[in-house]
């Protein structure tokens, strides 16, 4: 695959991610059900991994994780970098083995990403004794974020289709 094409492809992915990050900031952050707001970052990692597989997916997750760590309030330094990369790797492996790329595949890898992110949070909270409350919160967050897959999935599918060429 030519380098110039790769750069173009990932620039479009970056642009789509930027648009979806603004969507989180301008729309999703203002949606609240029982005090819980959707958190789309693990979903972005999950959907990209389901399309780009276990080679490019984790690299995207690594870069995205670093930016999340530097630009947002992370539970611990480097939390999103490590968690998102691991989540993308596992999600892509699960998706590759069980599904062909599509909505179901993205749904499965998204669920895996939320699960791994939640497990990482539980590890951090283990000493505080708040794991029970955190588990409830993680499930609620996943359920409230899930409908937004109907927004995130078409965006990345469009990017994947428009930039995919056979070699």
Partner 1 sequence: MKRFLTKHGIVVLSVATVVAVALSLLSFFSSNTNVLSNIVQTVSSPFRSAATAVTGWVEGIHSYLTEFDALQEENAALKIQIAEMEEQLRQAERDSEENATLRRLLDLREQRRELNMESARIIQEDTSNWASTLTLNIGDSFGVSVGDCVITETGDLVGVISETGSNWSTCTTIIDTDTSIGAQIFRTGDIGVARGDFSLMGQNRLQLAYLDADASPQVGDLVVTSGLGGYYPSQLVIGTVDEVMTDDDGLAQYAVLTPAVDLSALSQVFVITDFSIVE
146 binding partner 1? (CB under 8 A): no
CB of residue 30 to partner 1, shortest distance in Å:
7
Closest CA to 115 of 60, 46, 55: 46
Q: Which residue has the tokens 């909505």?
A: 103
CA dihedral 34, 115, 42, 101 (to 10 degrees): -120
CB of residue 51 to partner 1, shortest distance in Å:
17
How far is 165 from 91, CA to CA, in rounded Å?
Answer: 23
CB of residue 25 to partner 1, shortest distance in Å:
5
85 binding partner 1? (CB under 8 A): yes
How far is 138 from 113, CA to CA, in rounded Å?
Answer: 12
Residues 24-83 that bind partner 1 (CB under 8 A): 25-26, 29-30, 32, 34-37, 39, 54-55, 58-59, 62, 65-67, 69-73, 75-79, 81-82
89 binding partner 1? (CB under 8 A): yes
Question: Where along the sequence are the contacts to partner 1 (CB under 8 A)?
Answer: 22, 25-26, 29-30, 32, 34-37, 39, 54-55, 58-59, 62, 65-67, 69-73, 75-79, 81-82, 85-86, 89, 93, 121, 128, 130, 133-134, 136-137, 140-141
């Amino acid at each position: 695959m030519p380098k110039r094409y790769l750069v173009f492809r990932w620039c479009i992915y970056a642009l789509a991610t930027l648009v979806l990050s603004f969507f989180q900031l301008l729309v999703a952050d203002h949606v609240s059900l029982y005090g819980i707001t959707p958190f789309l970052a693990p979903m972005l990692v999950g959907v990209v991994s389901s399309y780009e597989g276990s080679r490019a997916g984790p690299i995207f997750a690594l870069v995205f994780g670093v930016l999340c760590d530097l630009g947002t309030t992370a539970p611990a330094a480097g939390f999103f970098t490590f968690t998102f990369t691991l989540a993308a790797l596992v999600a892509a492996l699960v998706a590759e083995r069980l599904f062909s790329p599509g909505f179901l595949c993205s749904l499965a890898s998204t669920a895996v990403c939320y699960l791994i992110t939640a497990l990482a949070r539980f590890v951090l909270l283990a000493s505080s004794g708040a794991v029970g409350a955190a588990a409830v919160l993680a499930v609620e967050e996943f359920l409230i974020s899930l409908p937004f897959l109907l927004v995130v999935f078409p965006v990345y599918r469009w990017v994947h289709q428009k930039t995919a060429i056979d070699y």
